[in-house]
């Protein structure tokens, strides 16, 4: 019979994944050792192996957890049954705020997923696609004509281009924060969205 988990298991696991993500993001996945992760967590290596099998498992859990949090965020907004514009604005704001505490996990997701096994990579990719699809659906709910023009997903990807890469230049302790930038991203996207035409895209040779 399996031994029951301690009440603090999930909290300790979260701390371990956060510490490992920080090390992977700052030192690189290949350069980080399990000894360094254990030291960063303030635990002994045997304790670390109580939560993860090895460094590969750490990477897999960090990636899967990050995508799962984003999917849960989408589900929570969808459950509120907001009007189309309010839903899209809320998604933008909440994703920006969520990324404030996910810089390291997001860097791992963008740079280290290549070290996962193919099936694990595919699972992460599938989760990311579901998140993008949810944004695309919210855009279509606001501008239905963009579905026929096949512009909803590209617009969602352009929006994520603003959200995803803030970790490369927005530094903690600066004058700007994810919270203050959230309405800026929202305004930029909605200002641009109103200018997008719904005409179907044509091959370059046909224009």
pLDDT tens, 103-134?
899 999 999 999 999 999 999 999 999 999 99
104 contacts: CB under 8 Å, gap ≥ 6? 18, 21, 22, 24, 25, 26
CA angle 16, 118, 154 (to 5 degrees): 90
Least confident among 53-57, 65-69, 112-116, 165-169: 165-169
Dihedral sign computed on CA atoms, order 189, 195, 196, 198: positive
- Token pair for 77: 């907004």
Which domains occur in the chain, in start order? 9-168+178-194 (1.10.357.10)
- Mean pLDDT to the nearest integer, 17-38: 95
- The predicted pLDDT at position 167 comes to 82
CA angle 119, 76, 73 (to 5 degrees): 45
- Tens digit of each residue's pLDDT (9 = 90 or more) over 67-102: 999 999 999 999 999 999 999 999 999 999 999 888
């Amino acid at each position: 019979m399996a031994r029951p988990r301690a009440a603090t298991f999930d909290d300790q696991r979260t701390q371990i994944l956060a510490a490992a993500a920080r090390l992977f993001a700052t030192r690189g996945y290949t350069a980080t050792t399990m000894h360094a992760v254990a030291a960063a967590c303030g635990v002994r290596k045997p304790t670390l192996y109580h939560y993860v099998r090895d460094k590969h498992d750490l990477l897999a859990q960090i990636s899967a957890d990050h995508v799962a949090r984003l999917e849960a965020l989408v589900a929570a907004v969808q459950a509120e049954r907001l009007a189309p514009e309010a839903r899209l604005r809320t998604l933008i704001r909440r994703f920006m705020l969520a990324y404030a505490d996910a810089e390291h996990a997001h860097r791992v997701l963008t740079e280290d997923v290549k070290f996962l096994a193919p099936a694990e990579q595919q699972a992460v990719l599938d989760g990311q696609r579901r998140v993008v699809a949810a944004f695309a659906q919210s855009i279509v709910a606001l501008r239905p004509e963009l579905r026929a023009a096949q512009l909803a997903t590209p617009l969602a990807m352009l929006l994520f281009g603003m959200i995803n890469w803030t970790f490369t230049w927005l530094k903690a302790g600066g004058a700007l924060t994810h919270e203050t930038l959230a309405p800026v991203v929202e305004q930029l996207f909605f200002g641009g969205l109103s200018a997008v035409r719904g005409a179907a895209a044509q091959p370059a040779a046909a224009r």
